[in-house]
Amino acid sequence: MASYQLRPLIEDDLRLILKWRNSEQIRSASMNNQLISYEEHFYWYLNVKKCNSTLLIFDIDSVPSGFIKFELVDDKTAEWSIYKDPENSKKYGRIMGGMAIDYAFNSLTINKITAKVISTNSQSLRFHELLGFKMQESLLCQYANSPKNVILLELLSANEWRNKC
């Protein structure tokens, strides 16, 4: 049986995370679908470390297999970004998502998680729906000089999540 773990992202993870982020599969579903250089990625990492963000790696049997970012919007709300290793065909997204949500509600002491998903990304919308996220509104957002139709999703409260599990 596989062993699953969440751990803080460390600098040594950056090249692998950049490889995932720059893959066609992840880029095409991202708000910014431009290729990112390592220098840009490293600058992003340094800035995120200064902000109210938490960066996590999801390991399967000690092998990095996913990335999660929680960015605090206010004292009780975080917006997340989540993706898995695009070269790993195993179905573990719901395990990774569930562990990340548990982490956020228990360790970050927030009460709400939001997500922004491009409206044409049906796989991500379904993933979020399976985890209990609900659509809040549809927005037209400007990212990297390109307008995107985005769905704003919100997860039920921490108490409702705990009762669901």
Q: What is the pLDDT of residues 82-139, one digit of tens each?
A: 999 999 878 899 999 999 999 999 999 899 999 999 888 888 999 999 999 998 877 7
Mapped onto helix, strand or coil, the DSSP state of residue 26 is helix
Strands (E) located in 119-158: 133-143, 146-155
Fold of 4-164: Aminopeptidase (3.40.630)
Q: What is the pLDDT of residues 1-52, one digit of tens each?
A: 889 999 999 999 999 999 999 999 988 888 788 899 999 999 999 999 888 8
Mapped onto helix, strand or coil, the DSSP state of residue 62 is coil
| Nearest CA among 55, 126, 135, 133 for reference residue 91 | 126
Q: Please state the pTM of the whole predicted model.
A: 0.89
Mapped onto helix, strand or coil, the DSSP state of residue 2 is coil
Give the Cα separation of 120 and 140 in Å (integer).
13
Where are the domains positioned within the chain?
4-164
Contacts of 117 (CB under 8 A, 6+ apart): 124, 125, 128, 150, 151, 153
